[in-house]
Structure 1
Amino acid sequence: MTGFRKASSEDIASVVSIYQKIHEEERKGKLKIGWLPDVYPVENTARAAFERQELFVFEEEGKITASAIINQSQVDVYADGIWQYPAKAEEVMVLHTLVVSPDEGRKGIGSKFVDFYETYAEARGCRVLRMDTNEKNAAARSLYRKLGYREAGAVPCVFNGIPNVNLILLEKELRK
């Protein structure tokens, strides 16, 4: 099977493995995301999202190569965003913790996952998409810009236990 789907409990180990590979690549200086091992993301990140039925994966030829959390939960610091597209909470879908295995990079999986997220949101009646990334994550910021997202501000915060983060808020309005 190839495609996007809600994660099963059996997928959690694969998702955690991707988190660990990303942490290792960042430790080696090959990636610059701004996450911390043993802080975020960790097994509990995936497990809690799975239990809320908000964890999604991309499976290719029987292997989980990407994951993300999709829900309507806006991070508290979103209140400080300079949003061009104001919306009621029920009109907003949020993408969190999009990860692609470093082994599978540069294959367009991240772009495909964002496309899946947009389709998922639209099917649920949402008209505004939001997400965030660490200011340090230049690769994600570039990808999101190419996919039509605009930066709606940088908010200093403690993010999921990571201190001194400048969180870049992003948004996009779905086609009307």
Structure 2
Amino acid sequence: MKLSKATIEDYESIIAFYDDVTDRTPEMELYARWQKGKHPTHDGIRAYIEEGSMYLYKENGAIVGAMGVTMYQGEDYHAIEWSQQVLDNEAAVIHILAVSPDCQGKGIGSEMIREAIRLAQTNGMKAIRLDALASNTPAHKIYKALGFEYRGQQHLYAENTGWTDFYFFEYINHTIYEKNNCYMKHEIIELHDVQIIGMAKKIAFNEAKEECPKFWGEYVEKIIKPVVFEKQAPNTFQQVAFANGVGEFGLCTCDIPNHNCAICAEMNFGACSKNTFTYVIGGIYKGGDVPEGMQLFPIHSGKWLKMHFEGGMKAFQEQYTKFHKEWVPAHPEYTWATNSCCMEWYQGTDIQSPDYQCGVMMPLE
């Protein structure tokens, strides 16, 4: 069962789903007080679909959960005293979350909220908020259990309820919030049993700033230039490189046994500050023969903190320094996995563009 974005082809099924939820959810009239056609409205559901804000949980092709997640907040949210003030397009809001009556009580609603939080994080939102009727006490308990806090209430009019009190909640513990004025877009990903395949070079720490770019130049001359620019037929080495995405990652491996790279990672691209480190230009190994001149490197299996840098390659070093010297100390909830190395990541072709996608990945305990 996975969260997916709804399309207009799902419209009739979504309407039927919400009608079923309204008809069969126990004590609907007491708590959420939804009414078919009045809340959620058909026009509102269509609008969420058309703007790409409607998300579905399906099981065996059937909808078992649905919600709207907008990457903006409405004017009704302006009067609340939030933990911090952000622009309307910096706050994600969860709407009309519902679970099929046949699947309620199985934790699906909680998992959907967690997915909404991750979705907001991926889109760089600085706040995650929602509202509920003051009477909907079961929902309040779920929100609080997931890290949301009550921030205030308003007396508002809704077609299905008339004038009534709404409670507003905010996920203030979420790490996408700025801390010490140091905001950086990030997400949590998982990599399990992954190896990196690539070209490796041992580099002296005090020469790293010159030697790492030189090594990337060697990569371009050996792999990219002949095939991409000169249109030559790729040899075996180049075929393996393209098949495994060599060049998507820069891996810094420590040459000191049992040494924790985290203590000196800020010094230079995650490399240890003593003697030498091995720098790898690589990609995720997908299987097959490893040609001469390439090696396999196992990496941390589990969760990774993936940072998205702004400003493209020209700002990479500045962003990296900010990450280690400002952002990491401001976020003690993230712990670098012992004896694990970090990775740089790159995506795109125009490295001169300020919109070029790049950043670092930190292995987490």
Given the two structures, how large is their TM-score scaled by the length of structure 1? 0.89
Letter in 1 for 2:157: V
How many pairs were matched up? 174
Letter in 2 for 1:108: G
Contact kept in structure 2, 1:33 and 1:137, CA below 8 Å: yes
Give the Cα–Cα distance (whole angstroms) in 2 for the partners of residues 96 and 22 of structure 1: 15
Aligned to 2:111: 112
- Which runs of at least 4 in structure 1 moved beyond 4 Å after TM superposition? none
Aligned to 2:27: 29
Give the number of the structure whose alpha-carbon radius of gyration is greater: 2
Shift of 1:163: 1.3
Contact kept in structure 2, 1:68 and 1:95, CA below 8 Å: yes
CA spacing shift, 1:160–1:120, aligned 2, 3 Å: farther
Letter in 1 for 2:27: G
Letter in 1 for 2:46: R
Letter in 2 for 1:103: D
Contact kept in structure 2, 1:3 and 1:58, CA below 8 Å: yes
The superposition leaves residues 144-167 of structure 1 with CA deviations (integer Å, 9 ceiling, x where unpaired) of: 010010011111001366411211
Give the Cα–Cα distance (whole angstroms) in 1 for the partners of residues 159 and 121 of structure 2: 28
Alignment of 1:1-176 (within 5 A): 2-25=1-24, 29=27, 32-159=31-158, 162-173=161-172, 174-176=174-176
Contact kept in structure 1, 2:73 and 2:89, CA below 8 Å: no
Contact kept in structure 2, 1:67 and 1:99, CA below 8 Å: yes
Shift of 1:175: 0.9
Letter in 1 for 2:2: G
Shift of 1:113: 0.6
Identical-pair percentage: 24
* Contiguous gaps of at least 5 residues in structure 2: 177-365
- For the aligned residue pairs, the C-alpha RMSD in angstroms reads 1.9
Shift of 1:172: 1.1
Contact kept in structure 2, 1:15 and 1:66, CA below 8 Å: no
Contact kept in structure 2, 1:11 and 1:64, CA below 8 Å: no
Give the Cα–Cα distance (whole angstroms) in 2 for the partners of residues 84 and 64 of structure 1: 35
Please say which of residues 42-51 and 158-167 is displaced more in the overlay.
158-167
3-state SS of 2:38 partner: coil
Give the Cα–Cα distance (whole angstroms) in 2 for the partners of residues 34 and 75 of structure 1: 22
Shift of 1:141: 0.8
Shift of 1:66: 0.7
The superposition leaves residues 99-130 of structure 1 with CA deviations (integer Å, 9 ceiling, x where unpaired) of: 11112101111111111111111111112101
